[in-house]
A and B are shown apart, each in its own frame.
Chain A
Amino acid sequence: MAKILAIESSCDETAVAITDEGRLLSNVVATQISVHEKFGGVMPEIASRLHCENITVCLTEALNEANLKLEDIDAFAVTRGPGLIGCLHVGLQAAKTLAMLYQKPLIPVHHLAGHIYANEYVGEFHFPLLCVVVSGGNTELVIMRDHMDFEIVGETKDDAVGECYDKVARVLGLPYPGGLPIDQHAKLGEHTYHLPVPTGEGKYDFSYSGLKTAVINLVNSLKMKGEAVNVDNMARSFQDVAISMVVNKSLAAAKDFNVKQVILAGGVSANSYLRAQMKEKLEGTGIELIIPPLWCTTDNAAMIAKVAERLYEKKVFAPLTLGVDPNWKIDHWQEF
């Protein structure tokens, strides 16, 4: 094992973490949420600019917190995808520059593998297991039969569930990111609005654009008629449909693939209704549920370091000509 410095800049958090033999020595996250909430979503160009401004400050903080020098680091890891291309470039340059200066290995990490492995900070993996990856950019069901062995069995055919939450929040006049405010309002409301339950093509596939459009159309038509939209009830109706799709498809896959564990990963795994539903539905099935700590549901570099430790052992190192891949698939993590 080794001392690993990991950098994450795939979306709206500039993050640097350092681990030593699996122990987290520092975990610095500079979030840009208060910038992007003005726009109701992440503005890629603005996010890239802030990464460029903040990256070396975050590196400084991470080293100070860990009380280490760059000379002490054994490998430099970085998220090379998926994510926003301009944002990924910034983290990549910093990691490559450090690997070049100190002539140490450069480790390319898949962002979603990071979200999955964040769970290793709270529990041990037992295979086979099902990862339910739900975030602003992704909605995927992934079967793992061993460490770093990913098979995508289901995915969204259009929007990601988190993206759908953000858009619906915007229509309802709720702040960005939409996950938490919708969750809070849903708790106060009842399922009174009829929304269509989307049907994905494959057995484990998702579709969210229809649901999003249905909410927008319904809100607009109510406004045209001069009727007030009950935000609590709309949030509840939407959340019921959106989350039950995740829960139902996950349960089907968990049973069909005979898994020992179900693991939640990604930003939407912070949703209290999803957590409660998964807990309830898996109780008594013999399938263990691992829920990530809240700090791991947002982007951070500690989770990137966790994957990098595995890759360091396997000697999965990249050349200095490494590029980013905004659409990198998790089952292709060895191709870079």
Chain B
Amino acid sequence: MKVALLLDSSEKCLTVGLSENGKVIDFIQYEAWQKQSEFMVNEIDGLLKKHSLSRSDIEAVSASKGPGSYTGVRIALTIAKTIVFALQVPLYLSSSLEVLREKGKPSICLSNARGKRSYVGIYEGQKCLTPDSIWDNSAVMAYLEEHPDVVPCGDLGYLGLEGQGNHICEALAENINEAHLESNSLGARPIYLKDDYQKGNFKTIIRKAMPSDIYALMEICASSLHSPYTEEQMLYEMSSNPVANVYSAVVDSQVVGFIDFMITFDSATICLIAVKEEFRNKGIGNLLLGQMLKDCRSQAEPVEFVTLEVRESNVNAQRFYKKHKFEAVTVKKAYYTDGENAVYMVRSIINNG
């Protein structure tokens, strides 16, 4: 028998289920606040044994990915990621609010975000009417009053209300579809829903690229650059190339840009720099360049200048570099494999800014 494993621990409850062809065949669900870490794996083991199933019978995992309790969300997701990594089976991820929905009715799915706020998502079947976000509880109450036709779902004790719908397993089983398939299951990360980010005043962190960034970097490469690296080349730059430095720009736990540069003796070369389209013109490129200059200045052997090649047609990039005190020195004819010329640009390190 081939089954899918269904997992959720994003709030007070621990939910472990089995489904076959999209139909739930068995599940366990109980309140295990802050105990999911201890019990969840054992419950999976128990459920598999009860149905005389072994690991080779698991053909997929469907789990929730937040928002909810930060630790709780990580427990189910870490277990799910470990299983799909071990068994090489697909991972389906759903919003932990979406899986609270009442079948066939417009549902406002809620969970306690604490500080008099709620995580809110409005769904009708598999359709999302209002994406997950954080609301003040007063706004939730006002919405409920204005929309008596929308079913409030979830554990609503914190609002002094009775919640409808407790079909997490059914929803997780139903969501085993293309729309919920996670393409980078090894690097999958939870949804934490930082409200700061939604308001637009997000914080960008520049840090050394980490192994799990590889998928995001490849995606940014593919969508932003003409001659992207292969995954192998990128991994080499990140972990093995002794002169390469790769930094990621991270916003709300999402990698949105990166820089790859080499430092060789007295000069540095920018190999790649890219920022996701929707995050451009927000100063992230400046931060990435700044990190490189900082690294150049902290070398034991002083770095004196930085060089780069940029496509002749890429005027936006050239404008960006000029703003950062780079000067076009020469044009390298047919530098790129497709025959395009490269503009060779140089700046001195001591040039501040």
Residue numbers of A with Cβ under 8 A of B are 30, 32, 34-35, 38, 45, 48-50, 52-61, 70, 86, 89-90, 92-94, 96-98, 100-102, 319-324
Contact = CB atoms under 8 A, between A and B. Distances in A.
Contacts of A50: 210, 212
A102 B83 CA distance: 11
A46 B301 CA distance: 34
B186 interface: yes
Contacts of B125: none
Contacts of A70: 86
Residue with the highest number of chain A CB atoms closer than 10 Å, among B42, B44, B86, B187? B86
A30 B210 CA distance: 7
B178 interface: no
Contact of B78 (A34, A90, A323, A324): A90
Contact of B211 (A52, A54, A92, A102): A54
B191 to A, nearest CB: 11
B8 to A, nearest CB: 14
Contact of A35 (B45, B83, B87, B207): B207
A101 B87 contact: yes
Nearest to A61: B211
A102 B85 CA distance: 13
Contacts of B77: 52
B2 interface: no
B84 to A, nearest CB: 8
Interface string B69-101: 011001101110111011100000000000000
B202 to A, nearest CB: 15
Contact of A100 (B44, B74, B211): B44
Given A32-B210, A48-B71, A55-B78, A97 B41 contact: yes
B55 interface: yes
B189 interface: yes
A49 B253 CA distance: 8
Contacts of A53: 187-189, 210, 212, 253
Nearest to A9: B78
B74 A38 contact: no
Nearest to A106: B41
| 9 closest A-B pairs by CB | A34-B208, A96-B41, A320-B42, A97-B82, A93-B78, A57-B211, A56-B85, A323-B38, A53-B212
Interface in B124-165: none
Contact of B83 (A52, A61, A97): A97
Given A52-B77, A86-B70, A93-B82, A58 B41 contact: no
A94 B70 CA distance: 17
Contacts of A94: 78-79, 82
Contacts of A324: 37
Interface of B: 37-42, 44-45, 55, 70-71, 74-75, 77-79, 81-83, 85-87, 185-190, 192, 205, 207-208, 210-212, 214, 253
B85 A100 contact: no
A242 B304 CA distance: 39
A56 B82 contact: yes
Contact of A93 (B79, B186, B253): B79
30 contacts: A30-B211, A35-B207, A49-B70, A49-B253, A50-B212, A52-B78, A52-B189, A53-B187, A53-B189, A53-B212, A55-B82, A56-B186, A60-B85, A89-B71, A89-B75, A93-B37, A93-B74, A93-B75, A93-B79, A94-B79, A94-B82, A96-B79, A97-B41, A97-B79, A98-B82, A100-B45, A101-B55, A319-B42, A320-B41, A320-B42
Contacts of B42: 96, 100, 319-321
A92 B210 contact: no
A96 B75 CA distance: 11
A309 B110 CA distance: 47
Given A32-B207, A50-B210, A59-B82, 12 more contacts: A34-B207, A34-B208, A38-B207, A53-B210, A57-B211, A89-B78, A93-B37, A94-B78, A94-B79, A97-B41, A97-B83, A101-B83
A52 B45 CA distance: 22
Contacts of B207: 32, 34-35, 38
Contacts of B41: 93, 96-97, 100, 320
Contacts of A89: 37, 71, 74-75, 78
A60 B190 contact: no
Contacts of A98: 82, 86
A82 B218 CA distance: 37
Contacts of B185: 56
A120 to B, nearest CB: 27
B39 A321 contact: yes
Given A96-B41, A100-B44, A101-B55, A59 B85 contact: yes
Given A35-B205, A86-B70, A56 B81 contact: yes
Nearest to B44: A100
A90 B190 CA distance: 13
Nearest to B73: A52
A207 B70 CA distance: 34
A89 B82 CA distance: 13
B212 A57 contact: yes
A55 B346 CA distance: 40
B71 A86 contact: yes
B74 A48 contact: yes
A38 B294 CA distance: 14
Contacts of B208: 34
B186 to A, nearest CB: 5
B55 A102 contact: yes
Residue with the highest number of chain A CB atoms closer than 10 Å, among B74, B79, B87, B253? B74
Contacts of A96: 41-42, 79
Nearest to A36: B207
A320 B40 CA distance: 9
